[in-house]
Structures are given as C-alpha cells and as structure tokens.
Amino acid sequence: MIIVFTTLPSFMHAESLASKLLEAKLAACCSILRIERSMYRWKGSIHKESELLLMIKTRKALYPKLEALIKKNHPNSCPEIIGIPASKVSKEYKKWAYSETA
C-alpha cells in the first residue's frame, strides 16, 4: 500500500478530487484534513495559505494512474503529489483497501 498526499485550496476542490479518485477505483479511502497555514516559496515570493490536505490510501501499483488523474483535475499548475509507502498496515485494512481499488 501507499499513502498519497496532495493539497488543495478549498473543500470543494478536495471533495471533488476525492470523489473522482474513489469513482475511478484509484483510492480506497480519502481523508480531507484542514491545514491551518502552509508557507512556501513560489516564483520568487513567499506565500502563506490555508489549504486542505487530501490523504489518499491506495495500492502502490495504481500510483501512475492516480497521479495522472490528480494532475488532470487539480486547480494548480504544479500540484503537490507525494506518495509514501505504508509498510505497516493491518491485514484487515489492507484486504479491504485492495477490494475497493482496481
């Protein structure tokens, strides 16, 4: 399994992207978390934004398709997409997650 993170500017964007990932069976579960403040450098200036973090649980093999769907549907030109292997996952959760993904 892998956990993929992407940030979005609004709840509407986060919910829409999560729905698309679930409908395409590229994710078993998506959690939307509020980020109080993100600070980053973009095109030479420092930005401070409130964002939402979409935490996506999926199969490692689905990452390329998942990344493509995020890029196609993300409002930012350079979306944050970070995948982290989940090395410790309960057997029951992993079985369920695999049954819900393509």
The domains of the chain are located at 2-100
For the chain, the average pLDDT equals: 97
| Sheet with 45-58, edge to edge strand ranges | 29-42, 45-58, 2-8, 82-85
pTM of the model: 0.94
Mean pLDDT along residues 49-62: 97
Quick one: fold of 2-100?
Answer: Alpha-Beta Plaits (3.30.70)
Tell me the residue ranges of DSSP E strands in 59-101.
Answer: 82-85
Residue 38's pLDDT is 94
